């Protein structure tokens, strides 16, 4: 059976720990093997990217392989993913053919497909990513879908371990004000991975910005299995007390999904309060500041925090490279 990397929960905690070990070996230069020599990897981008695209292309190259970058609707045909539709509209090719053809050339397919932020019940099921996984005969790597960003979350876990050492840490995931609603993939995957790794997780957000109910249940189950607990709070000040990691991210409300203007109005009162600033960071236990990037300065986080020694965002972005090399080496190269 093809092994994919769609969410971190596809993999056991031991496998994730092994992934971080392998990523650290790549980072330290202890592993210079090229398990992709003579192989190609397709990277399919429906949406813009800096970190994911650059780090995947560089990572494939450093593993000895060749990256084939495709942008449906731009450098490749427009793609349909729904089942049984009469394709008489603006979509030229179906994922069913697209991904199987790519599989004849490439050893794996990475795909970035953001939430359209239109239909919550549909998008929470990750339809495009799952269509890729359904039809592919080679491993699929999720490069950020509607609901998950496992490569980011794995780099985040690597960064926490690198900066603070092994073992349980007090980790805060805090919503932050942003001028428009954003997808939930990053907070979903960060919370899930933090729970899998046994960190004490606090999730802070204003009322109405709850994460998906089924996902929150899974996060609680994973935390329980790992001997940790999850706290959810609407108190943006107390949430920072004693945190060793502060992870900021904005996301849209399910209550206004498909209605961005209403979400923008709803969040307006949170603008001054829901920002990571120096005062809140003083409440932490010498906490490090994390964000997946790109970040809007002085909306999500003040210049004073992101430019301080507490900020690890550039190392976090670097770790995308190492952790994705470990994912590819495992999926294609058969390395543990």
By CB under 6 A, name the binding residues for ligand CP: 49-52, 144, 152, 292-294
Q: How far apart are CA 10 and CA 136, in angstroms?
A: 16
For ligand CP, give the closer residue by CB, 8 or 31.
8
- Beta sheet of 288-290, edge-to-edge order: 230-233, 200-204, 170-175, 245-249, 288-290
| Residue 144 Cβ vs ligand CP, minimum distance, rounded to whole Å | 6
| Residue 291 Cβ vs ligand CP, minimum distance, rounded to whole Å | 9
For ligand CP, give the closer residue by CB, 58 or 293.
293
For 177, other C-beta atoms within 10 Å of its C-beta total 18
| Residue 90 Cβ vs ligand CP, minimum distance, rounded to whole Å | 25
Count the helices and strands in the chain (H runs, E runs).
12, 11
Q: SS3 for 110? A: strand
Residue 197's nearest CA partner among 177, 168, 174 is 168
Paired with 187 in beta bridges are none
Burial class (CB in 10 A: 0-12, 13-18, 19+), 205: buried
| Residue 141 Cβ vs ligand CP, minimum distance, rounded to whole Å | 13
For ligand CP, give the closer residue by CB, 73 or 294.
294
For ligand CP, give the closer residue by CB, 50 or 116.
50
**Which residues, in sequence order, are CB contacts of 233 under 8 Å at separation 6+?**
202, 203, 204, 239
For ligand CP, give the closer residue by CB, 49 or 234.
49
| Residue 224 Cβ vs ligand CP, minimum distance, rounded to whole Å | 29
Say if residues 53 and 39 touch (Cβ distance below 8 Å): no
For ligand CP, give the closer residue by CB, 132 or 256.
132
**Which residues, in sequence order, are CB contacts of 55 under 8 Å at separation 6+?**
317, 320, 321, 324
For ligand CP, give the closer residue by CB, 204 or 292.
292
């Amino acid at each position: 059976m093809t092994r994919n990397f769609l969410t971190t929960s596809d993999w056991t905690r031991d496998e994730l720990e092994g992934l971080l070990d392998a990523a650290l070996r790549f980072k330290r230069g202890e592993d210079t093997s090229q398990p992709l020599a003579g192989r190609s990897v397709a990277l399919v981008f429906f949406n813009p990217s800096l970190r994911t695209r650059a780090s995947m292309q560089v990572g494939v190259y450093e593993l000895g392989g060749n990256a084939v970058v495709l942008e449906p609707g731009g450098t490749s045909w427009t793609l349909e993913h729904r089942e049984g539709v009469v394709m008489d509209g603006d979509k030229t090719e179906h994922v069913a053919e697209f991904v199987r053809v790519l599989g004849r050339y490439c050893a794996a397919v990475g795909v970035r497909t953001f939430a359209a932020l239109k239909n919550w019940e549909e998008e929470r099921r990750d339809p495009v990513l799952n269509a890729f996984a359904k039809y592919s005969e080679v491993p699929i790597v999720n490069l950020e879908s509607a609901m998950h960003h496992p490569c980011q979350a794995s780099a985040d876990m690597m960064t926490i371990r690198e900066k603070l050492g092994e073992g349980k840490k007090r980790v805060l995931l805090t919503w932050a004000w942003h001028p428009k609603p954003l997808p939930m993939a990053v907070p979903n995957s960060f919370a899930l991975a933090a729970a899998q790794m046994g960190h004490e997780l606090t999730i802070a957000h204003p009322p109405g910005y709850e994460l998906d109910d089924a996902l929150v249940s899974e996060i609680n189950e994973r935390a329980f299995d790992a001997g940790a607990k999850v706290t959810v709070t609407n108190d943006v000040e107390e949430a920072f007390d004693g945190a060793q990691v502060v992870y900021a991210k904005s996301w849209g409300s399910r209550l206004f999904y498909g209605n961005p203007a209403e979400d923008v109005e709803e969040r307006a009162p949170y603008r001054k309060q829901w920002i990571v600033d120096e005062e809140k960071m003083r409440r932490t236990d010498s906490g490090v500041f994390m964000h997946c990037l790109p970040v809007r300065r002085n909306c999500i986080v003040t210049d004073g925090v992101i430019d301080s020694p507490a900020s690890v965002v550039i190392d976090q972005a670097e770790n995308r490279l190492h952790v994705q090399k470990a994912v590819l080496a495992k999926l294609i190269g058969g390395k543990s």
